[in-house]
Chains A and B, each alone.
Chain A
Amino acid sequence: DSGVTQTPKHLITATGQRVTLRCSPRSGDLSVYWYQQSLDQGLQFLIQYYNGEERAKGNILERFSAQQFPDLHSELNLSSLELGDSALYFCASSPTTGLYTGELFFGEGSRLTVL
């Protein structure tokens, strides 16, 4: 058990809909990362938050947004869903606060299926 909790584990929805994925980081970790894993694209970095502020942004679509709340949990919002958004979405947390990225602790992921 990594200590990172993601909900829901599975989600099935239709095209055009909006979903919210939730992540609770390990106790004490200030950094939260979101990754998308699909068969054709591999593991893609989406966005990182550190203590409530956006720290880094990757290939995140404009239809996607995220935030980190004062209690450090994070939510990833996916809207106007398309079939291609079907993937595993991972949240990871890290205690690293410096200039380098250390070990990431991953949750078990949220599997999104868009029909």
Chain B
Amino acid sequence: SQQGEEDPQALSIQEGENATMNCSYKTSINNLQWYRQNSGRGLVHLILIRSNEREKHSGRLRVTLDTSKKSSSLLITASRAADTASYFCATDRIQGAQKLVFGQGTRLTINP
């Protein structure tokens, strides 16, 4: 079963615009992570935010976490064509086995 659900499932924007993707989850977590996947390739870790953190930045990425709403958002600013990929949130749940549970992902397309 999926823990996280990304929204939207697909997003298409123009180069230079900002892209926002959302993730909702169901159970209490230790941390939430965002990954990127280029078509048919392995996933690449982008950022990890702990349950006691509310916001985190890494370059053009900004992640927020609202544990009361069990939701997170990933903002990519000043998008580039190379940002075209699928983005997944993954949660490390407090209860249950030690593993990451991934959402279904958001397919982001940046149009030049």
Binding site for B on A (CB under 8 A): 2, 4, 33, 35, 42-43, 45, 48, 55-58, 88, 90, 92, 99-109, 111
Binding site for A on B (CB under 8 A): 2, 30-31, 33, 35, 40-45, 48, 88, 90, 92, 97-105
| Residues in chain A near residue B30, CB distance under 8 A | 99-101
| Residues in chain B near residue A90, CB distance under 8 A | 42-43
* A102-B97 in contact (CB<8A): no
* A100-B42 in contact (CB<8A): no
- 23 A-B contacts, Cβ less than 8 Å apart? A4-B42, A33-B99, A33-B100, A42-B102, A42-B103, A43-B43, A43-B102, A45-B102, A48-B97, A48-B98, A48-B99, A88-B40, A90-B43, A99-B30, A100-B31, A101-B30, A101-B92, A101-B99, A103-B45, A103-B48, A104-B33, A106-B42, A109-B40
A99 to B101, CA, bound (A): 15
A35 to B35, CA, bound (A): 14
A103 to B102, CA, bound (A): 13
A58 to B35, CA, bound (A): 20
Count A/B pairs, Cβ under 8 Å: 70
* B103-A2 in contact (CB<8A): no
The listed residue with most B CB atoms (<10 A of its CB), out of A43, A107, A111, is A43
| Residues in chain A near residue B98, CB distance under 8 A | 48, 55-56, 99-101
* B43-A106 in contact (CB<8A): yes
Question: Which 8 pairs between the two chains have the least Cβ-Cβ distance?
Answer: A56-B97, A106-B42, A100-B30, A101-B92, A43-B102, A106-B43, A103-B45, A108-B42
Partner of A2, one of B33, B44, B90, B102: B44
* A105-B105 in contact (CB<8A): no
Closest to B2 in A: A42
A6 to B103, CA, bound (A): 23
A90 to B45, CA, bound (A): 14
A77 to B41, CA, bound (A): 21
* A101-B100 in contact (CB<8A): yes
Closest to A55 in B: B98
* A102-B42 in contact (CB<8A): no
